[in-house]
Amino acid sequence: MYGASPFTLAGKTALVTGATQGLGFEIAKALAQAGARILLNGRDASRAEAAADKLRAEGDVQPLVFDVADEVAVASAFDALREGGLDFLVNNVGLRDRCALDEHSLDDVRTMLNVNLVAPFDLSRRAAALMGAGGRIINITSIAGPLSNKGDTPYTIAKGGLESLTRALAAELGERQITVNAIAPGFFATERNEELTSDPSIDTWLEQRTSLGRWARPEEIGGAAVFLASEAASYVTGHVLFVDGGYAAHF
């Protein structure tokens, strides 16, 4: 098994949601570099095509445009995947809106739960129906799931639920030899966090609160995804892998 690289993903097809930028883009890039064919998902066709174009030097990357929260669009997209099949699903799409508890409308909360939890449930069961033995589902959760903070309650609820969904799916899909794991990112210097990365006080805070004392570079998420998708992780399921520079260890 280990004569050749256990991390090669050649001949496999991966769907990565929310992959037009940020961590989703970096995960798609890493999986492509490991040899997987990538279906790069986004809601906007022009952005999805532009992101796919950036990655085509890495391998076979095709845009797949649909809104993960639109059940009809999701059903249509998965119907189109039936002929080619699917090996990996990365549930990366996420929605976050930080504000005080009494400032959240119930519609806002429902939207966050729908995007961050209900959509991964729906996509996962549809993906599992297309996967054979050796299929992989990887959920992108957050350190906000187990480590709560004020002003982030709906997001924390959703990501905590996604961790529970990961374990529940691992239990349910194990008999089909499909593994289900999660990655819990810490503080990454992505486009979404530009306001924070430009604040020197946050740099100081991270130096004090993480073992590695710095922001994570976006590309540092990729190795965890490749590992969980690969044969090297064939007996790993129901696990949440923290990629947080030691933040949780300091909590």
Identify the pLDDT of residue 101. Answer: 67
Identify the pLDDT of residue 165. Answer: 98
Identify the pLDDT of residue 80. Answer: 94
Which residues have CB under 8 Å from 73's CB, separation 6+?
66, 67
DSSP letters spanning 57-114: GGS-EEEEE--TT-HHHHHHHHHHHTTT--SEEEE---------GGG--HHHHHHHHI
Virtual torsion, Cα 82, 125, 223, 83, nearest 10 deg = 0
Identify the pLDDT of residue 95. Answer: 79
Identify the pLDDT of residue 151. Answer: 62
Residue 133: count other Cβ atoms within 10 Å of its Cβ. 7
Q: Which fold has domain 13-189+222-241?
A: Rossmann fold (3.40.50)
Identify the pLDDT of residue 251. Answer: 61
For residue 29, what is the enclosing H or E element?
helix 22-33
- Contact indicator for 120, 162 with CB cutoff of 8 Å: yes
Identify the pLDDT of residue 124. Answer: 98
Q: Is 155 among the residues known to form the active site?
A: yes
* Reported pTM: 0.93
Closest of 43, 51, 39, 36 to residue 191, by C-alpha: 51
Dihedral (CA of 246, 163, 150, 217) sign: positive
Q: Which of 2, 155, 235, 247 is catalytic?
A: 155
Q: Using CA atoms, how far apart are residues 89 and 15, in angstroms rounded to an integer? A: 5
Identify the pLDDT of residue 105. Answer: 84
Closest of 183, 189, 181 to residue 219, by C-alpha: 189
Which residues have CB under 8 Å from 173's CB, separation 6+?
128, 135, 137, 179, 180
Identify the pLDDT of residue 107. Answer: 87
Residues of the chain predicted below pLDDT 50: none
